[in-house]
Copies of this chain bind each other. A is one copy, B any other.
């Protein structure tokens, strides 16, 4: 095994200072920061590295024997940002339960409506989160704190953190939010304050760099398969029926690919990572025609970010254009209509867009367990004085990663992998396309 990577990412975690306070946890096993976790990452797992595999060391998540913050004097805050995703409430609940019951933290504040909840010009809105108030929230989708999009001034946020006397800020959000967390941490450092900033990465698309699995993904796939099953029923319920399902995935098709594996009925899968053409002998429209003539029905699953180049072409040729841009399924539906009409063929398409139904449900058991670990380990890290980091799972281990590492680039489906081969096998779509 070649263990000499071309570029070995920096996995060191920042700390607010020395942890001197004995933990109140009676925990049989504390993490010893001097013994990092070694993991073999293959090049499939780290598509950016071009050597075959790599032995990397990570800081393990878990309770430390010594704390940096004295729990009874520590005030925590939680903020949730960006779009909804199954499991946000589970993470909130786990942070509150762990802080309160196991560490003895007395105050956990919930910031309402995302980062804007820190900004005076908006409704400045706080809610105290207690074990009792969060005890049932995991039964509901969404976020009890509300959310918002877009950045806010880090200076104003740190003003608010100081004014509220907050020692630990837990930030649940996506890519952009993790960058905001980084900016907040830098502002805190510039002011030489002792405030820990801990991220819990959230993206239903599962496309955060270096992170094997984001919470809510498993639930999203489960719900996506229900929509695909309905589209299959619709497609087979009419002669020359086509079911077209739009799934989440602006830049990466993970949900669409995984749901395709779970529902082997999908005939065509379209993802951002694999460009395709509509027209011509090797285009989707002719492939769809071949399938319909052969089998009488077809099931198409399309990630929302697929076919970007087609939308850009479209824009070029269409004067008004912008109504179309961004809606690949609308384009496919229109062009398919035209194609089959021009060929004198029947075609009955049913379009299903289940996005909000997928992302707003409560987490399933698997995601609940994961969200519980994320929340617990976020508290362990924060109490030990770690900052500028996220908690996450790599392979089967819970670890800390620096914010830099997860925000530096996105993660994509590797279409040169065994996984993708299995997905393509599941669809059998190769049989309907004609190579030039």
* Closest B residue, CB atoms, query A217: B366
Tell me if A233 and B365 are in contact (CB < 8 A): no
- Chain B residues with CB under 8 A of A140: 136, 139, 233
Tell me if A259 and B352 are in contact (CB < 8 A): no
Tell me if A372 and B264 are in contact (CB < 8 A): yes
Give residues of chain A (64-123) contacting chain B, Cβ–Cβ below 8 Å. 84, 93, 97-98, 101-102, 112-113, 116, 122-123
Tell me if B27 and A262 are in contact (CB < 8 A): no
Q: Does A395 contact B (CB under 8 A)?
A: yes
Q: Does A277 contact B (CB under 8 A)?
A: no
Tell me if B230 and A360 are in contact (CB < 8 A): yes
Q: Does A212 contact B (CB under 8 A)?
A: yes
Tell me if B417 and A146 are in contact (CB < 8 A): no
Residue of B147, B233, B239 touching A148 (CB-CB under 8 A): B239
Tell me if A233 and B360 are in contact (CB < 8 A): yes
Q: Does A234 contact B (CB under 8 A)?
A: yes
Tell me if A365 and B221 are in contact (CB < 8 A): yes
A361: min CB distance to chain B, Å: 7
- Chain B residues with CB under 8 A of A404: none
Tell me if A38 and B365 are in contact (CB < 8 A): no
Q: Bits for A232-265, please: 1 = Cβ < 8 Å to B, else 0.
A: 0110111100000000000000000011011110
- Chain B residues with CB under 8 A of A84: 233-234, 237
Q: Does A418 contact B (CB under 8 A)?
A: yes
- Please, how many residues of chain A have a CB less than 8 angstroms from a CB on the other chain? 91
Stretch at the interface among A176-184, A283-291, A420-428: A420-428
Tell me if A372 and B426 are in contact (CB < 8 A): yes
Residue of B1, B113, B218 touching A239 (CB-CB under 8 A): B113
Q: List 11 A-B contacts (CB under 8 A).
A: A97-B264, A141-B233, A142-B236, A221-B369, A222-B366, A231-B356, A237-B360, A263-B365, A376-B425, A395-B396, A398-B418
Please report A residues at the B interface, Cβ cutoff 8 Å. 1, 26-29, 35, 37-40, 42, 45, 52-53, 55, 62-63, 84, 93, 97-98, 101-102, 112-113, 116, 122-123, 136, 138-143, 146-148, 212, 218, 221-222, 224-227, 229-231, 233-234, 236-239, 258-259, 261-264, 350-354, 356-357, 360-361, 364-366, 368-369, 372-373, 376, 395-398, 416-418, 421-422, 425-426, 428, 430
Q: A37-B42, A148-B238, A221-B369 are in contact. List 16 more A-B contacts (CB 8 A).
A: A27-B421, A35-B52, A39-B40, A97-B264, A136-B140, A141-B229, A141-B230, A146-B237, A222-B364, A222-B366, A230-B357, A261-B369, A261-B373, A262-B365, A262-B368, A354-B357
Closest 10 CB pairs between A and B? A142-B233, A262-B365, A233-B360, A142-B237, A230-B360, A222-B365, A262-B368, A141-B233, A261-B369, A113-B239
